[in-house]
Each structure stands twice: as structure tokens, then as C-alpha cells.
Structure 1
């Protein structure tokens, strides 16, 4: 796992790459419910040959064009040839359903910064376009990120026993507003900023995205509001999830998608 942390509070990214650091993280979407591939056809699994899990699950992603997948930059540090993308498979053990494509190209946001976790975006070009599959549009209005709205996060990541792993789950996570995360000890030091992030989740630890969900979609009103990026542990009280916000970088991302 790429280390994107402030040692003081052990803030760590929500990817699953099988390193010793990942093994130390509490493997907790936590508190979610099962989702079908039909209700989120644009949600995809990013696999990698280096993944230690049998399913080769690496991260989540979003189909934003027939041949383009948007995911987190911290998920995209390997060679393009090592990645694969699975669509339409709610349970990764069900090999009889879904579509697969290799990845021919990886683009990482040129201003991605591992020190402050900014611009955590990457675009993967598929070797085999997934024609006929609905894609998810990007949110372009910064006003969409506002306290009180309730977007939904999707992912196949770890659940800490609240549901089956390697199975698509969803969780409605209230937008807590930027002031909430900016006021949490260590979050600003780790790079949280209102201009680039979304603070969403539960302060009582009810539920959260977790390891394996990185790069997965945070959806509001049928548009992609953000991507799973980082947090302190998973579903820890007082520490909600941090999402990379789409709207501020939508123009740059659309240039890669079109």
C-alpha cells in the first residue's frame, strides 16, 4: 500500500496492496448493504497481478466513458499491463458474469502529491471498450459538496464482518461539511482542504469505506461527487472518510476522458 500518512495519527490510504503496512490496518464498505451490479453498472473493480487476494482485487473505479475508468492516483502506481478491470460482477467469486478488460494506458494527475494527498486521480484506458454499459457523469459544480446532503459510496472492499468481502456493497454517508474534517486533529496536517476534499461519514463509527474501496465512487444525484481516498483506520469514531472531490478538477479529468 502506498503510504499516504501523517505518523502522528496514522492516517492511511484505503487501498489493498498486501504490504506489511496494509496488514496493520484494521480491515474494516463497513456497515453497508449489498448492492447489485445492475444498480451501479458504472462501478468497477480494479485488479492487479501483484494483489495477494485470490480475487486480485486492488481498488475500486468508475466507468466514465466506454474505454475510460477513473480511479485514485494512489491505486495507479504499477505498470499498465499489470491491471485489469471487471464490470458487472457484484460477487468476485462469480466468474460466470461480468466483463473484463486489460488496461492499455495509465494517466495520473500531474499534480498528484503524495505528501498532502491532493489530486488523487488517475484515468485508465481500457484495451477493450465496454460498449453498451452506462457510464457515470462527473459532477462539475463545487456547490454539490455541502453539509447535509447524503451521497452513497460503493465498493468491494473490506467489511470487518459487517458483510461479505469481495462483494459489491453500498453505504449512504452524510456530507459532514469541510469544517468537520478541518477541525479533526491531524486531518489538516495530512492535507485535508475544502478546495479538494469531501468530508463524509459518521462521527459515531457507524460505517465507512475501507481497504480495497480506494478509487471507488461517491455518488450524489446520479453524478460522481468524489472518489474514496483516505481516512484514519476504517469506521473509527470521530474520524469520517475523506474523498477526493471531482468538481475542482472536472475540466482536467474530462480532457482525459474525451
Structure 2
């Protein structure tokens, strides 16, 4: 079953092969010291460019209202998945969400550390296709600037970081088992960039979805285990110190033969810059 990785369908790093649709209600957070299969806790100070998208009005105070992830690509710019801004995820039109914020520098969502910065503007990729998830990216403009050290560079077209077999890491606060066990602390999982041929074979255009190499890439392990999951949408896929993808969609969580699919940054960066 194809699904985007945002909470109503939207975790890092699951290994279970669950394909159950999760409800919109905020889940019970996993214990901060629980054993994480497929990923492990990381310090946000080591990856300050990872941020959480929050709306307590829509998702409650548990876990600081987190519902998607994002990545800092400019001092006042955060990229996330376009589908995170949809009515399906937010439960109402985006312009009616009055407390949309980006939380930076907070690894543990149960604390008040870091900064909560209001989102001043949301720009959806004009080429985003909600049916196929092609071009699944939105740019958020922050009301306050973050330090330059929070900015993660983006990998352009032809960058070796996109090469099949490259080691990468995906980050998020979402489901860690595929069964609704949401993390309270930031986690990361090591994955590998997979070839377009492998991704096309995994998603040839059946009910699980269609892989489009021009705007997507996939990563994980063909035997399953490490993967993004519900709650991780919009979070970064990082290779060789550069942003190469945003968590977008997949079939189940950590299922053999069903790697996670990401928005290809080289395909959308130019479009988003042109609208800046």
C-alpha cells in the first residue's frame, strides 16, 4: 500500500513490515531510552539542520505538537514535504493553521530546549503532483533567522552523493517500529542510495506507486529493516555532508523489496529558488 510518510498516513527508522494506516490522533510517545530497531538516537547538536514542524492546535502538546520533519537550507528557509501542508495531514486548509512553527535545536520533544519560530510563509512547489508525489517539496520562510551553522548545503545535479551505493542517513522523530511507536527524541538510520533500476523495479506503477527517477530517489536496504516511517515526512536524507532527499513516501515500513522514496533535491532546488 503506497503512503506518504506524514502522520495521518506520516518516524524514522522502522524495521517492522507494517502497512496499517495510522490515525490522525497524536500517538503515545516511545520512552526516550527504548531500544530502536533500524535506527538510533542522535544529538541534535550534531545535526542542527534537522527541525520539527509543529502545531499544538492540530496535534496536541505531546511531543511539542510535532507532525513532520524539515531541514534548514537557508537562515530563514526550511524545506519539507509538500504533502505535510495538505488538508489530509493538517485536517483543515493550511491557511487556517494559526500556530504553524518550526522547532530548531530540540532533540527531545518533551523538553523546551531550542527555539520555536513561527512560519511566515509557505510556498508549495508549483510542479508538485499530489497523486504521484512527484516534486513533493514545500519551502517555509521563518519569521526569525537561524545561525549560519544550522544551514545544510544541497547537492546539485551530478553530485556524487546521489551515486548508487553511497552511504546516507535519514533523520526524524516518527514511528520506530512501524506499529505506532513514535519517538520522543531525534533518531537517525544509516541507509544506502539505491539505483534507479532497483527503485523502478520496486515501484513499477502498481498499487504501491510509481517511481519517477527525474524527481525521486530511493534509499534503504532491499532486505528491509532500516527505513523512514509515519511521522518522518519532510525529514532530510543526507549523504557526504549534503542534502540529497526529503522523506516522501513508500510501501509499509522497512519491508523487504520496498525501499523508502525521497524527493530528489537536485530536481526541485532550482524550482524553489526560482520562486524565492
Is the TM-score greater than 0.5?
yes
1:123-160: CA deviation from partner (whole Å, max 9, x where unpaired) = 01111222354201111123432211111111111102
The 1:119/1:188 distance shift into structure 2, 3 A limit, reads: farther
Cα distance, 1:82 vs structure 2: 3.5
Partners of 1:54 and 1:149 lie apart in 2 by 36
Say if 2:227 and 2:259, in contact at 8 Å, map to a contact too: yes
Partner of 1:211: 230
The residue correspondences of 1:34-45 to structure 2 (distance < 5 A) are 34-45=41-52
Say if 1:17 and 1:52, in contact at 8 Å, map to a contact too: no
Give the secondary structure class of the aligned counterpart of 1:209: coil
Partners of 2:66 and 2:200 lie apart in 1 by 32
Partner of 1:227: 246
Partners of 2:191 and 2:9 lie apart in 1 by 27
Partner of 2:5: 14
Tell which has more relative contact order, 1 or 2 (C-alpha 8 A, sep 6+): 2
Partners of 1:18 and 1:146 lie apart in 2 by 29
Partner of 2:89: none
- 2:177 is equivalent to residue 170 of structure 1: no
Partners of 2:274 and 2:231 lie apart in 1 by 27
The list of structure 1 runs, each at least 4 consecutive aligned residues, that deviate by more than 3 angstroms after superposition, is 17-21, 27-30, 161-164, 185-189
C-alpha RMSD of the superposition = 2.6
**Runs (5+) with no aligned partner, structure 1:** 1-9
Cα distance, 1:187 vs structure 2: 5.0
For these two proteins, the number of residue pairs brought into alignment is 245
Say if 1:30 and 1:234, in contact at 8 Å, map to a contact too: no
1:142-193: CA deviation from partner (whole Å, max 9, x where unpaired) = 3432211111111111102898712111111111211111012555772311
Q: So what's the TM-score if we normalise by structure 2?
A: 0.81
Partner of 2:168: 151
- Write 1 or 2 for the structure with the bigger share of helix: 2
The 1:255/1:31 distance shift into structure 2, 3 A limit, reads: same
Give the secondary structure class of the aligned counterpart of 1:183: helix
Give the secondary structure class of the aligned counterpart of 2:197: helix
Say if 2:79 and 2:138, in contact at 8 Å, map to a contact too: yes
Q: So what's the TM-score if we normalise by structure 1?
A: 0.86
**Runs (5+) with no aligned partner, structure 2:** 11-19, 31-35, 87-93
Cα distance, 1:23 vs structure 2: 3.0
Partners of 2:71 and 2:46 lie apart in 1 by 13
Which one of the candidate residues 128, 135, 157 is aligned to 2:151?
135
